[in-house]
Chains A and B, each alone.
Chain A
Amino acid sequence: MKTYNNRAWFLILPVILCVAFSAILPLMTIVNYSVQDILSPSQKVFVGTEWFRMVMRDSELHGALYRQMIFSLSVLAIQIPLGILIALTMPAQGWKASMSLVLIALPLLIPWNVVGTIWQIFGRGDIGLLGYVVNNAGISYNYTGDSIDAWVTVLVMDIWHWTPLVVLLCYAGLRAIPDAYYQAAKIDGASRWAVFRFIQLPKLRNVLMIAVLLRFMDSFMIYTEPFVLTGGGPGNATTFLSQYLTQKAVGQFDLGPAAAFSLIYFLIILLFCFVLYNWMQRVGTGDKK
């Protein structure tokens, strides 16, 4: 649908200016930096695609990318089903519904570095409740020394922090299903599982698509929480892409390669989201006519 009212352009001009300053100009700056060697603010040498080639060959980067992929996929594999499950068990109306919504949403309200700090203390073997209980139960648990333990802690922290988002989205999606479907299923004698598989899951498709995209993008760019919790350690066991990038750019002041890396990072996310979105659309093709 096209509108031929030029007045509309004036109304969105402020937004265009904001987006220009906050996103487009910085993006152009990055593109600019990515093809230059920046020795000092006044000394820039054009190097073409050298940084891009260097970044692609960087084995440390490969490692970070690999760890990031494992992390994001684990996040999706656990948080999406868990979110659906929790949303299914939440009451649909009344004061209990409001209360459970508030409780579920609490982790989302906490500043991200505070989340990291909470879990950092929580997991400590001496003063942390979790660390103390687990160690006393006979399982040796030390997230600062053991890579596996660090991984598990980071995952559990992310699950605790972000599953509520999936829950809220699915909850809204479930409420949108007309009662008649459940009634018809009851009359058809369908089991609880059949109701889930044939009514709820198909009708949640759009909501789940949003949830998957959001969780993927956010987890792929995750920085604050793991940084506060483990600092990327032990060693580089929990150093994910964004942390690696920050180390490069801020720590070593290699703006050129950092800019090149940022662009590649951006393109990777864009590519994944595009593929994911199309795949999910095609899965539901029979429905959309």
Chain B
Amino acid sequence: MARIELVDLAHAYRPNPSAPSDYALRPMNMQWDDGGAYALLGPSGCGKTTLLNIISGLVRPSHGRVLFDGKDVTNLPPEARNIAQVFQFPVIYDTMTVFDNLAFPLRNRGWKTIDINKRVQQVAEMLELTSDLKHRASGLSVDAKQKISLGRGLVRPDVAAVLFDEPLTVIDPHLKWLLRRKLKEIHHELKLSLIYVTHDQVEALTFADKVVVMTQGEVVQAGTAQELFEEPAHTFVGYFIGNPGMNLLPCKINDGAAHIEGSVIPLSPKASTALNGANGKTTLGIRPEFVECEFEQAPDTTAATVTSVRNLGTHYLAEFKLGDHTIAAKLRQLSASAGDKVWLRLPTERTLYYVNDKRVA
């Protein structure tokens, strides 16, 4: 169990970075509490794997320090940091049985056989591998192998943190469910610090207490699933989180209202004050889950035309044209078809405003 701190951490491939593009990881500060589950979420190339490797010790950062429980571990190799890492593909010792795989780290540390047996049984039970203990590890299915990889990390009682590098990439959707749940249960039981890297938002949001959203080497927002979903601090977070992502519409602010190509969306007094004198690119953001659709005009609605309606089994996904822009909405029910004229309501408490991509209201 460890409290992990990143102090002025940055990583550049060139010795004297000047422009932001020279950095693989832009300077950041972060504290992660002991026993928490954290996710690093972002698209390919955003730097999340680099950050994970810096925490695990496989990569030495070019600037800044990494502290475990206040101790500077920046220069320590992985084996000295007491961490465990689970990779994208299962890493197991082919020639050994499942039992021997799990016992391997303990044998290397010179544990007594009796203690090894007890601990391995305990971990195997947690991961539901008990029936496979005597089998050769190489003959098992992929998800079982990933469990073994994970088990090897959990088997050491003094492990400070378990780091995951996109571990469910090779797993089928049905098994992903079970493994995700298993990870959460293990987290509850062992109270370990867990850091999880992924580009899949569902994995990140369901797994972590706090999610760190990254893009192009920069940490854009760190917060709970609710915060990221309901109050994204950056248009990137709005776009990246949510399926589909947030509707982002460029607008102009005038007379206490947002103008989008002829449609006028009134601003709440709070938003109006915040946007007063705003200089720069203004964007209106609203999540498809919150857009409402009416068939009659009402005082707080705007006219739009339906461009497509799709029944996705559990909900309908509709797209509307508002001037030149498209708005998507997720609705429980919609009996309309392409070409229909409707009125959309964008609830003020769910409509967010961004100036130069940063949230203002």
Contact = CB atoms under 8 A, between A and B. Distances in A.
A and B touch in their complex, CB below 8 angstroms: yes
Interface of A: 178, 180-181, 183-184, 186-191, 194, 198-199, 202-203, 286-287, 289
A180 B78 contact: no
Contacts of A186: 77-79
B105 interface: yes
B229 interface: no
B108 A191 contact: yes
Interface of B: 56, 58, 77-79, 83-85, 87-89, 91, 93-96, 104-105, 108-109, 136, 138-139, 149, 152-153
Contact of B87 (A184, A188, A289): A184
Interface centre among A178, A186, A289 (most CB of B within 10 A): A186
Contact of A189 (B88, B89, B105): B105
A143 B322 CA distance: 96
A188 B152 CA distance: 8
A199 B149 CA distance: 14
A190 B139 contact: no
A189 B79 contact: yes
Given A180-B87, A183-B58, A189-B105, A289 B95 contact: no
A199 B104 CA distance: 13
Interface centre among B95, B105, B153 (most CB of A within 10 A): B95
A198 B108 contact: no
A287 B94 contact: yes
Contacts, number: 56
**What are the 5 closest A-B residue pairs judged by CB atoms, nearest first?**
A189-B108, A184-B91, A188-B105, A286-B136, A180-B87
B104 A180 contact: no
A224 B95 CA distance: 41
Contacts of A180: 87-89, 91
Contact of B96 (A178, A183, A198, A203): A198
Given A180-B87, A188-B105, A286 B79 contact: no
A278 B344 CA distance: 72
A193 to B, nearest CB: 11
A184 B149 contact: yes
A186 B88 CA distance: 17
A223 B94 CA distance: 41
Contact of A289 (B77, B93, B139, B153): B139
A202 to B, nearest CB: 5
A183 B78 contact: yes
Nearest to A191: B108
B108 A202 contact: no
B92 to A, nearest CB: 9
Contact of B78 (A181, A187, A194, A198): A187
A184 B136 CA distance: 19
A203 B91 CA distance: 12
A178 B109 CA distance: 25
Contacts of B56: 187
Contacts of B83: 187
A190 B93 CA distance: 12
A194 B138 contact: no
Given A180-B89, A181-B91, A289-B139, A188 B149 contact: no
Contacts of B91: 180-181, 184
B163 to A, nearest CB: 9
A185 to B, nearest CB: 9
A198 B88 CA distance: 20
Given A183-B85, A187-B84, A202-B94, A287 B138 contact: yes
Given A199-B93, A202-B94, A286-B94, A187 B79 contact: yes
Contact of A184 (B85, B95, B108, B139): B85
B108 A190 contact: yes
21 contacts: A178-B89, A180-B91, A183-B58, A184-B87, A184-B91, A186-B79, A187-B56, A187-B83, A187-B85, A187-B153, A188-B104, A189-B79, A189-B108, A190-B104, A190-B108, A191-B108, A198-B93, A286-B139, A287-B138, A289-B138, A289-B139
A202 B95 contact: yes
B135 to A, nearest CB: 9
